[in-house]
């Protein structure tokens, strides 16, 4: 997740080292947006909206991380729908997609760009 436009505002969220592999945490952006931040097995960090669109609860950061056919995904802890961490596409319902956010690591700090 490096090729991003210059005019984004980056918010430092936490130390990269604080992210456990294959796990997620929630973070609050300055505008009140809640994001779910994940570190997957190969070390890549992804950020998506924390809102599960099916249950309307802010819970995606608490889902199980893994892969479906090689696609990195998180499964909603509410009713198990899976979302592609790269694109936000729901893998169980083609009509549903959740917002994703650019992520970078600078000086050991994970930064997320809001929208």
Partner 1 sequence: MTRTLVVVGHGMVGHRLVQALRDRDTAGTWRVVVLAEEPRPAYDRVALSSYVDHWDAGKLALENADHAGDDLVELHLGDPVVAVDRDARTVTTASGLVRGYDALVLATGSRPFVPPVPGHELPGCFTYRTVEDLDDIRAAAEGGGVGVVVGGGLLGLEAANVLRQLGLDTHIVEMAPRLMPLQVDEGGGALLRRLVEDLGPSVHCGVSTKEIAEAPDGLRVVLSDDTELTTGMVVFSAGVRPRDDLARACGLDVGERGGVLVDDACRTCDPNVYAIGEVAAVHGRCYGLVGPGYAMAEVVADQLLGGTATFPGADMSTKLKLLGVDVASFGDAHASTGGALEVVHNDPVSGCYKKLVISDDAGTLLGGILVGDATSYATLRPLVGQALPTDPGALIAPAGSAGTGIGVDALPDEGQVCSCNAVTKGTIKDAIVVGGCTDVAGIKACTKAGTTCGSCVPMLKQLLSSCGVEQSKAICEHFEYSRAELFEIIRATRVRTFSELVEKHGRGRGCDICKPAVASILASLGAGHVLEGEQATLQDTNDRFLANMQRNGTYSVIPRVPGGEITPEKLLVIAEVARDFGLYTKITGAQRIDMFGATVDQLPHIWRRLVDAGFESGHAYGKALRTVKSCVGSTWCRYGVQDSVGLAIELELRYRGLRSPHKIKAAVSGCARECAEARGKDFGVIATEEGWNLYVAGNGGFRPRHADLLVSDVEKETLIRLIDRFLMFYIRTADRLQRTSTWLESLEGGLDHLREVIVDDSLGICAELEEAMSEHVANYSDEWRGVLEDPEKLSRFTSFVNAPGIPDPSISFREERGQKVPVLLPVPTVGQTNEVAEVKQ
Tell me if 25 contacts partner 1 by CB under 8 A: yes
Residue number with CB closer to partner 1 (7 or 94): 94
Tell me if 9 contacts partner 1 by CB under 8 A: no
Strand partners, 89: 97
Per the listing, tokens 């952006």 go with 29
Tell me if 48 contacts partner 1 by CB under 8 A: no
Q: Least distance from C-beta 100 to partner 1, angstroms?
A: 16
Task: Supply the DSSP symbol for 9.
Answer: P
Q: Select the residue interacting with partner 1 from 14, 16, 86, 89 (CB under 8 A).
A: 14
Q: Select the residue interacting with partner 1 from 55, 88, 99, 104 (CB under 8 A).
A: 55
Please report, as ranges, the residues that interact with partner 1 according to CB under 8 A.
12-14, 18, 20-23, 25-28, 32, 34, 37, 40-41, 51, 53-59, 62-70, 72-73, 75, 77-82, 92-93, 95-96
């Amino acid at each position: 997740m490096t090729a991003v436009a210059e005019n984004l505002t980056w918010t430092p969220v936490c130390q990269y080292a604080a992210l456990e592999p294959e796990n997620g945490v929630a973070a609050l952006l300055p505008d009140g947006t809640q994001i779910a931040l994940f570190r997957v097995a190969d070390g890549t960090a992804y950020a998506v909206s924390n809102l599960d669109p099916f249950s309307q609860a802010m819970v995606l950061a608490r889902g199980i991380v893994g892969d479906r056919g090689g696609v990195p995904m998180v499964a909603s802890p509410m009713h198990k729908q899976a979302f592609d961490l790269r694109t936000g596409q729901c893998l169980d319902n083609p009509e549903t997609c959740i917002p994703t956010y650019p992520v970078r690591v600078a000086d050991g700090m994970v930064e997320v760009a809001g929208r």
